[in-house]
Amino acid sequence: MQRTTQVIGQSGAFLDALERASRAAALDRPVLVIGERGTGKELVAERLHRLSPRWDQPLVVMNCAALPETLIEAELFGHEAGAFTGATKARAGRFEEAHGGTLFLDELGTLSMAAQDRLLRAVEYGEVTRIGSSRPLRVDVRIVAATNEHLPDKVDRHEFRADLLDRLSFEVVTLPPLRARSGDIVVLADHFGRRMASEIGWERWPGFGPTALDTLMTHRWPGNVRELRNVVERAVYRWEGEGPVDRIEIDPFASPYRPSGVHGGAPMPSPALPKTDAPPRPEPEDSPVAACDAGPSDFKSRVARFERELLAKSLAEHRFNQRATAESLGLTYDQLRHALRRHDLINAGG
């Protein structure tokens, strides 16, 4: 994995985190990198590898959240031909590919309990067994893992193995969010601005105007450095004025013409109902009818509102354990995750 992105910052909290990572790099021990999305966890993992004695060996990256649960173990440990449907030939796993080097496991908290069990054995004994094989293979791999979750809480909820967390947390590097590094915002914005100006052929970098700087400094940056880079690069390429860039648009979806409702388009009028002399019977507050009556009048919005409320209620009832929630609703884990993303509930309870 080769990067052109630099690790940039001068705030005390950020430099302290980098110093901890640099000191841990020389030791052949697991390191856990914690941080919100967009804080640069993968860049710190690369730094740990490049400063380690394994710097000239492979750095293999695996995003544990990017694969369905049924394929994660095959990706990590490999498989033999015929081990499962579609396995037409043998394939080495990420542990074998990283032999002698570093394996970076991103989004560690999404691993299933079964995968955690096999990962613990690999970390503890330095052995992996391909799916469909009974012959263990020796591997020499240094583990660096990252997550944006507080794993001790997952241990308390029996969603993460305590012994695996103990094994992987020899050193924990927690990256501060950008809102805690206010002194780095202008430094980073200037870096991203210069790079974008060069990319689109500007002869010089004019910097930012006062309005743009005020916008940059007052935004909370929930997406951290990744969000800042996108905002700055978009502002530079859109700028057509003279002098410093002085217009920043944080939300690229902001428009008076953006679609409304769940699926876009104008709301459909509600169908006329037959008249009756009988007074309407009140519905219980938690009934589907009551949930759909409160809010937008078009059918799709009512259904979406009811679905979101049902998901939120079920999550709360199961203490935000997504696997238990999926089982209670008769959904697969992947189906539930898709529904949570659709209703912006994926990090509910986090």
Q: How far apart are the C-alpha atoms of 83 and 92, rounded to whole Å? A: 13
Residue with the bigger pLDDT between 146 and 326: it is 146
The predicted pLDDT at position 79 comes to 87
The predicted pLDDT at position 5 comes to 53
The predicted pLDDT at position 321 comes to 86
pTM for the predicted model, two decimal places: 0.69
CATH topology of domain 184-238: Helicase, Ruva Protein; domain 3 (1.10.8)
The predicted pLDDT at position 350 comes to 65
Q: Are 142 and 54 in contact (CB under 8 A)?
A: yes
pLDDT category of residue 304 using cuts at 50, 70 and 90: confident
Q: Are 46 and 59 in contact (CB under 8 A)?
A: yes
The predicted pLDDT at position 160 comes to 95
- Say which range, 24-28, 101-105, 218-222, 316-320, has the weakest mean pLDDT: 316-320
Q: What's the whole-number mean pLDDT along residues 152-162?
A: 95
CA nearest to 289, candidates 274, 277, 303, 308: 303
CATH topology of domain 288-342: Arc Repressor Mutant, subunit A (1.10.10)
Evaluate whether the domain defined by 12-176 bears CATH number 3.90.1150.10.
no
Q: Per the structure block, which two tokens stand in for 295? A: 């809010």
Residue 331 gets the label, from left (phi > 0), alpha (psi -120 to 50) or beta, of beta
DSSP state of 206: -
Q: What angle do CA 313, 318, 319 make, to 5 degrees?
A: 95
Q: Are 21 and 47 in contact (CB under 8 A)?
A: yes
pLDDT category of residue 271 using cuts at 50, 70 and 90: very low
Q: How far apart are the C-alpha atoms of 114 and 126, rounded to whole Å? A: 18
Pairing of strands 137-138, 127-128: antiparallel
DSSP state of 179: G
Listed by start position, the domains of the chain span: 12-176, 184-238, 288-342
Is it the case that residue 320 has pLDDT exceeding 80?
A: yes
**What's the pLDDT tens digit per position in 180-202?**
999 999 999 999 999 999 999 99
Is it the case that residue 347 has pLDDT exceeding 90?
A: no
**Terminal CA-CA length for the chain:** 31
3-state helix, strand, coil in the chain (%, to 5): 45, 10, 45
Q: What percent of the chain has pLDDT over 90?
A: 56
